[in-house]
Amino acid sequence: MRKELNSEQSGNVANNNVANKNAADKMAASNSLSNKENLIATISINDLRYKEYNDLPMTEEEVTALANYDHYRVKRLNGQISDAEFHQRYRELQTIANLGDYREFLKPQYFQNKSNS
């Protein structure tokens, strides 16, 4: 059974809905701005590759990250057993290079072990 609202209650519900929508819109705009700022601030491996190919200046950190990614990529691809696994891993690595922050490859687990290279 549905309960009917009087005009005062109906007005309060409408005002609450408007307030909630305004708050949600502000939050969405804030999140959108934060996401855009993160996207703008992210420099990918492919951005570094572009700099390298075009002889643009690179920091030592950028050169190291690019070398670490290349080593990681070769190691991961060589470790695949089947063609299907290889192509799946290749696509994943492309995504990482396109969208991931290059600073990920400055973490210790990505540094080349000279004795195993």
In this prediction, residue 41 has a pLDDT band, given cuts at 50, 70 and 90, of confident
* Whether the predicted pLDDT of 99 surpasses 60: yes
For 100-111, what is the mean pLDDT? 93
Q: Is the pTM of this model over 0.75?
A: no
Same domain, 61 and 10: no
The answer to whether 62 touches 116, Cβ cutoff 8 Å, is no
**Burial of residue 29, with CB atoms counted within 10 A of its CB: 0-12 exposed, 13-18 middle, 19 or more buried:** exposed
Same domain, 36 and 64: no
Same domain, 72 and 90: yes
* Whether the predicted pLDDT of 91 surpasses 90: yes
Same domain, 51 and 99: yes
Collapsing DSSP to helix, strand or coil, 61 comes out as helix
Q: Which two tokens stand for residue 57?
A: 């200046």
**Burial of residue 97, with CB atoms counted within 10 A of its CB: 0-12 exposed, 13-18 middle, 19 or more buried:** buried
pLDDT of residue 27: 52
Helices (H) and strands (E) in the chain, counts: 4, 0
The answer to whether 102 touches 50, Cβ cutoff 8 Å, is no
Same domain, 68 and 89: yes
Q: Is residue 117 part of a domain?
A: no
Give the tens place of pLDDT for each residue, 45-70: 999 999 999 999 999 999 999 999 99
Residue ranges making up the domain that contains 17: 1-41
Same domain, 49 and 36: no
